[in-house]
């Protein structure tokens, strides 16, 4: 029985190459989608914090109103688990009273699952007064 040399014979390599390239492209695509989801979550949380800060800074509202508005917006967009740690405080920036809303939220690592409280997003708004 005569043996053929193994070099140059690529029969049967197409399925293996398909699996390797397909796996690489799938992982790359999922990574890009996860990155996009992370950017979306951060933008939603930041926009909600801005809206909450402006609500709390109104002359006829309280800090609790701003926190409530921030939680409401985050819950509607991405879920209640992202709106658990919301805090509004009054600070002074350049001699001006300022309302700061801070949200500590998970970083989405796999889908919307992630490390709780890993991201901290805050927004400021100048406080109004009736004086």
Strand-by-strand arrangement of the 85-93 sheet: 85-93, 96-110, 113-126
Q: Which of 85, 86, 68, 75 is nearest to 41 (CA)?
A: 75
- What pTM, to 2 d.p., does this model score? 0.81
Could you report the per-residue pLDDT of 40-74, keeping only the tens digit for each? 999 999 999 999 999 999 989 999 999 999 999 99
Phi, psi at residue 108, to the nearest 5°? -70, 115
Does 7 or 84 have the greater pLDDT score? 84
């Amino acid at each position: 029985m005569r043996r053929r040399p193994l070099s140059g014979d690529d029969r049967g390599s197409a399925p293996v190459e398909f699996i390797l390239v397909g796996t690489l492209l799938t992982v790359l695509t999922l990574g890009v989608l996860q990155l996009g989801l992370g950017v979306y979550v951060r933008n939603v949380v930041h926009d909600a914090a801005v809206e909450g800060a402006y609500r709390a800074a109104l002359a006829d509202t309280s800090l609790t109103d701003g926190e409530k508005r921030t939680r409401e917006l985050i819950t509607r967009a991405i879920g209640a688990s992202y709106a658990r740690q919301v805090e509004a405080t009054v600070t002074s920036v350049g001699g001006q009273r300022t309302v700061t809303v801070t949200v500590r939220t998970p970083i989405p690592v796999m889908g919307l699952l992630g490390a709780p409280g890993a991201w901290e997003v805050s927004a400021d708004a100048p406080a109004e007064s009736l004086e």
